[in-house]
Amino acid sequence: MAVCYQLPVLALDRPVPKHVLSRRGAISFSSSSALFSPTPRHLSKRRGAISYDSADQTALFIRLLDVRGRSQPGPQPQRRAPRPPPQVDFRDLHSGRDAAGPGATRGLHRPLSLQRSRHVLQRSPAPEPRHILDRDYGGQATCVLQRVGCWDFDVFLLDRLTNGNSLVSLTLHLFVHYGLIRLFQLDVVKLRRFLVCVQEDYRSHNPYHNALHAADVTQAMHCFLREPQLAETLTSCDILLGLVAAATHDLDHPGVNQRFLVQTEHHLAALYQNTSVLENHHWKSAVGLLRESGLLAHRPASERLKMEERLGSLILATDISRQNDYLSQFRCHLQSGDLRMDNANHRHFILQMAMKCADICNPCRPWRLCKLWSSKVTEEFFHQGDTERKHNMEVSPMCDRQTNSMAKIQIDFISNVVEPLFSEWSRFSATPLSRVMMGHLSANKAGWRRSLLEEAEPAKLSASS
Ligand SMILES: Nc1ncnc2c1ncn2[C@@H]1O[C@@H]2COP(=O)(O)O[C@H]2[C@H]1O
């Protein structure tokens, strides 16, 4: 049984040391935590999480899960001990890759010469001759960014030219492009600081869920925002939220899926009650960074809260397990032809659909880019599968390298997830871009089918010999 309490911070019997509160707004604890064990350990098994990201910001909430025999002395009812969750050391997940999550990854980018993006407020050091290299690369990056609205945009190239800072440079470029700095009277230093923090809070050692994926999704979102039905009707606030949601939609992704977090009783699963665990975490992390940066501090509080809420519903829409709900709603609208882009709720729904498309558009990219993304996502899946096998857990679908191949995963993903979504999107937005995307999608699927046949060939040959 899971029991969930929300208690104001005053209910705690001793103050919470500041150092346990990360800016991400959540910490976990268990029965072994000295901080929260007013009852003897043998009487109480506590798991849960603490969140300070409440609307009024003055209260701290704790959630206790699986609370049994709390502070009641005497014999406990006889029960068969539940199977303990696998004791996964999350540092193992990225052994040799990501030792301790965000923060630990900071400083890993080897500067081309001198790059000061992580010290936005520091004064520039004295010029040195090697700055000339930065200027060369900067010039090329600027050139590449001129093509940011093209569907075959090469975000990998931009990432190399900006030395791993594609998310910051691309998003800043788009803010300038849409005039958002002027329209929202944004402080450029705060904006840059916010984007640098966003980029750094992606785990650079995740093969797929890292800042480069976020840059790719932001670029795709820009392409969708330019589609006539959206470009003619979206407000500047819609555009701002669309870009921020795309840039932050996988913030601090741990490189494993929700199923894994639930099975290992990760504190995030407890905090978000096993529902849209990752997406809630990405959203709350984004809100934490927005508040910390003070980017919107000059806007009225009610507007800020509304924006945070809408940001949440855009990020939560990327929960792939809820795809069918969104798709049936979309189909209903398309069948009845009742979508009105002058209606704010309808516009927001279309933004949610655009966000979903941007998130999983990699199979619709040209073959070279599609293959790069596929190998990254497969590497991350298989790494999770290896960890699950190592801990005697059931290996998640698509994560088992012994029974899957990249081609097989891609064909399934395209047929079951991407095609249904993009065929509805291209019904809504029947444009040249949609035709290009659908063209790549079917060509790529054919490419994966060929790869699958090639994979089968050696097996057939050895069976017949
Ligand atoms: N090319 C791909 N092949 C297989 N799965 C993918 C691919 N691209 C995205 N996904 C999945 O789609 C999911 C979208 O939500 P997530 O980013 O949480 O996790 C993503 C992956 O699990």
Which residue, of 330, 362, 394, is where some domain finishes?
362
Percent helix, strand, coil in the chain, to 5, is 55, 5, 40
Is residue 234 in some structural domain?
yes
The pLDDT assigned to 57 comes to 44
Whether 344 and 198 map to the same domain: the answer is: yes
Residue where a domain stops, chosen among 328, 362, 396: 362
User: Which residues are 28's β-sheet partners?
Assistant: 49
Closest residue by Cα to atom 15, ligand 1, is 320
Buried b (16+ CB within 10 A) or exposed e, 144-164: bbeebeebebbbbebbbbbbb
Domain that holds residue 269: 138-362
CB contact at 8 A, 13 and 38 = yes
- Answer yes or no: is 77 within a domain: no
**φ and ψ at 124, to 5 degrees?**
-65, 135
Cβ pair 225, 354 in contact under 8 A: yes
ipTM of the complex: 0.99
Predicted local distance difference test score (pLDDT) of residue 458: 72
Residue 138 pLDDT: 82
CA distance 253 to 281: 8
What's the CATH code of the domain at 170?
1.10.1300.10
- Please check whether residues 58 and 155 belong to one and the same domain: no
Q: Which residue numbers belong to the known binding site for AMP? A: 209-213, 250, 359, 410
- Residue 223 within a domain: yes
Task: Give the separation between CA 384 and CA 393, rounded to whole angstroms.
Answer: 11
Domain stops at, among 70, 105, 129: 70
- Other CB atoms within a 10 A radius of the CB of residue 170 amount to 28
Pocket of ligand 1 (CB under 6 A): 250, 278, 318, 320, 359-360, 362-363, 373-374, 377, 409-410, 413
Helical residues (DSSP H) of 101-151, grouped into ranges: 131-145
In a domain, 64, yes or no: yes
Question: Residues 60-90: pLDDT tens digits?
Answer: 434 433 333 333 444 444 555 666 777 776 6
Q: What is the pLDDT of residue 88?
A: 74
Q: How many CB atoms lie within 10 A of CB 425?
A: 25
Cα 448 to middle of ligand 1, angstroms: 16
Are 173 and 276 within one domain? yes
Would residue 315 count as lying in a domain?
yes
Looking at residue 312, its amino acid is G
Q: Are 369 and 332 in contact (CB under 8 A)?
A: no
Question: Quick one: 3 and 142 in the same domain?
Answer: no
Is 384 among the domain residues? Answer: no
Annotated active-site residue 209? The verdict is yes
Secondary structure class of 63 (helix, strand, coil): strand
- 53 and 182 both lie in a single domain: no
259 contact partners, CB below 8 Å, separation of at least 6:
396
Residues in the annotated binding site for Zn(2+): 213, 249-250, 359
128 lies in some domain: no
Cα dihedral across residues 260, 261, 265, 266: positive or negative: positive
Mutate to test the pocket of ligand 1, among 249, 250, 413 (most ligand atoms within 8 A of CB): 413
Question: Are residue 142 and residue 283 in the same domain, yes or no?
Answer: yes
pLDDT of residue 133: 57
State the total domains in the chain. 2
- Say what the pLDDT of residue 91 is: 58
Q: Do residues 197 and 298 share a domain?
A: yes
The confidence score (pLDDT) of residue 101 equals 41
Residue 9: inside a domain, yes or no?
yes
Given this model, what pLDDT does residue 85 score? 75
Q: Are residues 296 and 200 in the same domain?
A: yes
* Nearest C-alpha neighbor of 217 from the set 202, 236, 205: 202
379: tokens are: 């590497």
Residues of the chain with pLDDT under 70: 1-83, 89-135, 459-461, 463-465
Q: Quick one: tokens of 433?
A: 């871009």
